[in-house]
Amino acid sequence: MSEAIGLLGAAIAAVFWGSQFVPFKISKKKPSAVQYQFMTTIGIFLLSLVLVPILSLSYSINLAGIIGGFLWASGNFLATKSVEKAGLAKTMPVWSAGVVLVSSFIGLAFFQEIVQNLFMAIFGAAAIILGVLFVSKGYGKMKEKSDLGNLGNFGNLGIVFSILAGLIFGLQLVPMKLANLTAVEFFFPMSLGILIAGTIIFLLHREKIKNIAIPHGLLGGAIWNIGNLGSIFSVMFLGLAIGFPITQLSSVLAVAWGILAFKEIRERRKRLYVFLGAIIVILGAIALTFSK
């Protein structure tokens, strides 16, 4: 029963996280990453206020949740910048790969979550990296200049942002594991930490909120937090090394949104590369799942 709850939580996270940037993409006049991030954090917190009494969660505050929120807000700012610069279908598989590798390594090496099949674990990690390379190849070189100079085959600064986002996202539920907390205790303080960190980032940039950022950001935050709740239950019942990687199947849905809905890639050959990359990422996540 516990495994079924964990898998259901991972599925919910994959669906909602794969759709979290759709409100940003459908906005006709794009808000800046800072504006969208700030409204997203407000949407996350407001939904948590609603969900806590409905799901009998706790309004108690703890440091582990606050730290988890700060980690997510930092990663999400970088993720939003990556989508802004390089598109949804290209960037989300990259940070998803980072999440899988970081969370799997920490779960196995630090928390000593048992692996029954080392070959499957190695195969899964290698497949995820290969899948990301396929996705990047599908987009080819993009005409964007950055202060970092030539970024090689990855093509632009958006990929750098997405790699950093993946590394940070992979750590966001580590505080929950370290403090041995449940979803009941972790969900609300994490949402509060996200709001605090998002506010700090916004104030540091000294930007004004555009009206267009308000509804899209609030909706994006609500979508993400439903997925977040699912991911917390997934890690609770399946572990960090297995539960969190499964949630990153969200990258496949993000690719579908990017290609089918937003027409980010029009050439058939390049679409094939991206779809193959997404499939390989899925196979890698499945291999990691069955390696335990």
Count Cβ atoms below 10 Å from residue 267 Cβ, excluding itself. 11
What is the tens place of the pLDDT at every residue in 234-269?
Answer: 999 988 988 888 888 887 788 788 888 887 777 888
Looking at the structure of the chain, the number of domains it has is 1
Could you tell me the end-to-end alpha-carbon distance of the chain, in angstroms, rounded to an integer? 18
Which of 101-115, 177-191, 209-223 is most confident? 177-191
Q: Which helix (H) or strand (E) holds 169?
A: helix 157-169
Residue-number span of the structural domain to which 196 is assigned: 2-289
pLDDT reported for residue 188: 98
145 pLDDT exceeds 60?
A: no
- State the pLDDT at residue 139: 57
Helix axes 240-247, 268-289, angle to 10 degrees: 160
User: Residue 62 corresponds to which tokens in the numbers above?
Assistant: 């703890």
Phi, psi of 117 (to 5 degrees): -135, 100
Q: Is 19 helix (H, G, I), strand (E, B) or coil?
A: coil
Is the pLDDT confidence value at 146 over 60?
A: no
User: How many helices and strands, by DSSP H and E, does the chain display?
Assistant: 13, 0
Is the distance from CB of 10 to CB of 247 less than 8 angstroms? yes
pLDDT (tens digit per residue) in 11-22 = 999 999 989 888
Min mean pLDDT across 105-114, 180-189, 281-290 is at 281-290
Give the largest CA-CA distance in the chain.
Answer: 53
Listed in order, strand segments (DSSP E) in 146-203 are none
What's the pTM value of the predicted model, to 2 decimals? 0.84
